[in-house]
Amino acid sequence: MKEELFYSIWRNQYIASVVRNNRFQKKTIRITTSYLSENHQFLSLLDTRNYDIYIKLHCADQVDSYLNHPFKYIINALNIYVKSAEALGQLSQLADHDNLKQLYISFGNGIYELGFCLPASLVRLHFHSRRIPRIMPRYTKRLPDTLKELILSDVVVDYANQNVPDSLTSLVIRHNFGMRPPKVYPSSLKTLEFGWYSLDEFSGTVIPAGVEDLKIVGRLEELAKFKVYHDKVYRNATFKVYNQHQLAHLNRFPWVSKINLLTNVEDFENTLSTIERVDMSVYGFSSFTFPGYLPSQLEKNQSSRFQFFSNSPKIQLVDNIFPSCLQVLELPNLNTRVPFDLLPKSLTELDLSSYTIIGVDRDNMVPQGIRKLTLGDISSLPPNSLPNSITDLCITQITGPIDQDVFPSNLEKLRFKITIDPHQQPQPKIILPSSITDLSISYNCKYRGFHSIKSLLTIPKSVVYLHLTNIVIERDLIPMGCYHLSTNYFQGLQDDVLPTSVRRLSLYLERCHNQIINIPPSIDLLITPHQVFVNRDTSINEKGVLNYQKKNTVADLYNKSTSSGNGGSSGIHYY
């Protein structure tokens, strides 16, 4: 009997452990020192050695807050901002912490010599200089042999004293003042990204044959410094072209898949029509006056893309200007009448963000194969004008009533902005289709504050993901069945306003927001861009863990962590 009881307890604990670790697999938990002190017993239940789970501590300029913490052994990822010589000196003590796998260090202005040793267990390392110094910080010690990911942002590694570790699979180098890449790369490298303001003098570097993704954007003289194996083609390699002479050198870079034209298209005469391989982006002020400018075959892995950006909305386009195999077309500034045969039948994605007159004179102007479409105002669009192949529709503004028949019958994802005076009477009706599962609605910010939409529309019961901006959340507005709600509204989030089906809540509030927010009891996951004060314990509750998820944005990487407030603000961030 005792053996059965022991086995039953062991089995339950084992199953709970497996479920817990799998739930946090490939996740990062961001915590403060106060949360670590209060909840170390719960964090220690996570198996960070055998699972891809990271517990990340942000200790700003106080490295000793980590070094002297009694439960620092739980931490396997560290985020440090070094702005003083004292903090820089403390970094040498990190070498003995073999539990650290990820390390992000940001250096303040005036710190240039980096002579500290790194932990031998590191898998991911990110060096970043917060300023834009013309003399970049230089790391002079040897990089760990276990390193797989290395990101250098305005920090130089002394390649003269060492080679890049053989274990490295991803290398990112971004320098604002003169890039100094290594001459030799490990054969294990799979991802390589370069970003620079200017290239320093060097004889060139050979891109390893094993690299599968090369992210690089450069001019003629810059790309010529790199040597690439002849059978390689990289989907994220981009050639910046300023004139026809530079474009004539495209055949020197058979590994390039994208072209950015940074001048008037007419300057290229008929040269573009000879190009057989690229995604193309055009940034200019010109107009297409006759067919033959663009390549007849824009092919890359069965996906071809053309973008045209102009400051003028009066772009003149003519029939048969685009290649017949084009799949993605972006004309975000176009607001002139489109010729009937302009759009290729091969298109699957079309962006006409500023276009507000489509379908007024002629139906079926949009090709039948379109799956993703972005348009301007469609209030005047006749019924059944849009093909039913569209599953993703974005409308940049709605100024009047819209009947359900205007929307495609197979629509799943819909995004639109309401530009209707909230004081207008009577309010026009917008009838949404019942096929939508992902819905985003925003009210034009020119009408200040939050506005009710209950008199305008009814949200379909099929909606699972709902995103509301500048909109009042009222009782019976959100349908039962909605699972994830994103909003910037918080004043009226009472327990009976949201249906019990809403389990995830994303709040996008101003950073200076300090009011206590009511979180309805059905919410299991709270997501915010920065720390907020709520009326619930966001660490442990009766039903388990209410995760307080923090969006990992660049701006947040440098925020100082704060301890838990009186309102129950959490120190745990999970994303």
* Neighbour-count burial of 16, counting CB atoms closer than 10 A to its CB (0-12 exposed, 13-18 middle, 19+ buried): exposed
Q: pLDDT tens-digit profile of 136-177?
A: 888 888 899 999 999 998 888 876 656 678 899 999 988 866
Contacts of 448 (CB under 8 A, 6+ apart): none
Residue 112 CA to residue 118 CA, distance in Å, equals: 17
* Neighbour-count burial of 222, counting CB atoms closer than 10 A to its CB (0-12 exposed, 13-18 middle, 19+ buried): middle
Residue 309 has pLDDT above 70, yes or no: no
Contacts of 363 (CB under 8 A, 6+ apart): 382, 384, 385
| pLDDT for residue 297 | 43
Structure tokens at 561: 């962590």
Residue 509 CA to residue 228 CA, distance in Å, equals: 47
Report helix, strand or coil for 186. Answer: coil
Residue 388 CA to residue 407 CA, distance in Å, equals: 8
Q: In the Cβ-directed half-sphere of 306, how many Cα atoms lie within 13 Å?
A: 25
Report helix, strand or coil for 441. Answer: strand
Q: What is the 3-state secondary structure (H, E, C) of 113-168?
A: EECCCCCCCCCEEEEEECCCCCCCCEECCCCCCCCCEEEEECCEECHHHCCCCCCC
Check residues 357 and 489 and name the one with the higher pLDDT. Answer: 489
pTM over 0.75: no
CA 163 to chain centre: 32
Q: How confident is the model at residue 301 (pLDDT cuts 50, 70, 90)?
A: very low
Helix (H) or strand (E) holding 39: helix 33-43
Return the percent helix, strand and coil in the chain, to nearest 5: 15, 25, 60
Q: Do strands 305-309 and 328-330 pair parallel, antiparallel, or not at all (unpaired)? A: parallel
Report helix, strand or coil for 421. Answer: coil
Residue 35's closest CA among 566, 571, 550? 571
Residue 202 has pLDDT above 50, yes or no: yes
| pLDDT for residue 131 | 63
Residue 304 has pLDDT above 70, yes or no: no
Residue 310 has pLDDT above 70, yes or no: no
Least confident of 65-79, 239-253, 372-386: 239-253
| Nearest-5° Cα angle at 36, 31 to 39 | 110
Let me know: does 442 contact 469? Beta carbons within 8 Å. yes
Residue 313 has pLDDT above 60, yes or no: no
* Percent of the chain predicted with pLDDT > 70: 73
| pLDDT for residue 195 | 84
Structure tokens at 232: 């390689």
| pLDDT for residue 489 | 85
Let me know: does 335 contact 312? Beta carbons within 8 Å. no
Let me know: does 82 contact 106? Beta carbons within 8 Å. yes
Contacts of 362 (CB under 8 A, 6+ apart): 340
Q: Do strands 213-218 and 234-241 pair parallel, antiparallel, or not at all (unpaired)? A: parallel
Cis amide prior to 426 (ω within 30 degrees): yes
| pLDDT for residue 478 | 94
Q: pLDDT tens-digit profile of 168-201?
A: 999 998 886 666 777 778 889 999 998 876 666 5
Task: Return the top range by mean pLDDT from 140-144, 322-326, 533-537, 568-572.
Answer: 140-144
Average pLDDT over residues 473-497: 87
| pLDDT for residue 307 | 60
Residue 7 CA to residue 165 CA, distance in Å, equals: 46
Let me know: does 341 contact 321? Beta carbons within 8 Å. no
Least confident of 11-25, 410-424, 462-476: 11-25
Residue 124 has pLDDT above 90, yes or no: yes
Least confident of 26-40, 226-240, 288-302, 488-502: 288-302
- Inter-CA distances, 357 with 156, 283, 318, 361, Å: 53, 24, 17, 8
106 phi and psi, to 5 degrees? -110, 130
| pLDDT for residue 397 | 87
| pLDDT for residue 284 | 47
Check residues 535 and 484 and name the one with the higher pLDDT. Answer: 484
Least confident of 79-88, 292-301, 349-358: 292-301
Q: How confident is the model at residue 412 (pLDDT cuts 50, 70, 90)?
A: very high
| Nearest-5° Cα angle at 349, 378 to 194 | 125
Q: How confident is the model at residue 403 (pLDDT cuts 50, 70, 90)?
A: confident
Residue 467 CA to residue 96 CA, distance in Å, equals: 46
Residue 242 has pLDDT above 90, yes or no: no
Chain-wide mean pLDDT for the chain? Answer: 77
Residue 176's closest CA among 135, 214, 208? 135
Check residues 514 and 193 and name the one with the higher pLDDT. Answer: 193
Least confident of 203-207, 237-241, 289-293, 363-367: 289-293
Residue 176 CA to residue 133 CA, distance in Å, equals: 8
Give the number of other CB atoms < 10 A from CB of residue 56. 19
Q: pLDDT tens-digit profile of 436-484?
A: 999 999 998 777 788 889 988 999 999 999 999 999 999 899 999 999 9
Give the number of other CB atoms < 10 A from CB of residue 251. 7
Residue 503 CA to residue 526 CA, distance in Å, equals: 9
Residue 328 has pLDDT above 70, yes or no: yes
Check residues 541 and 125 and name the one with the higher pLDDT. Answer: 125
Residue 510 CA to residue 531 CA, distance in Å, equals: 10
According to DSSP, residue 451 is labeled: B
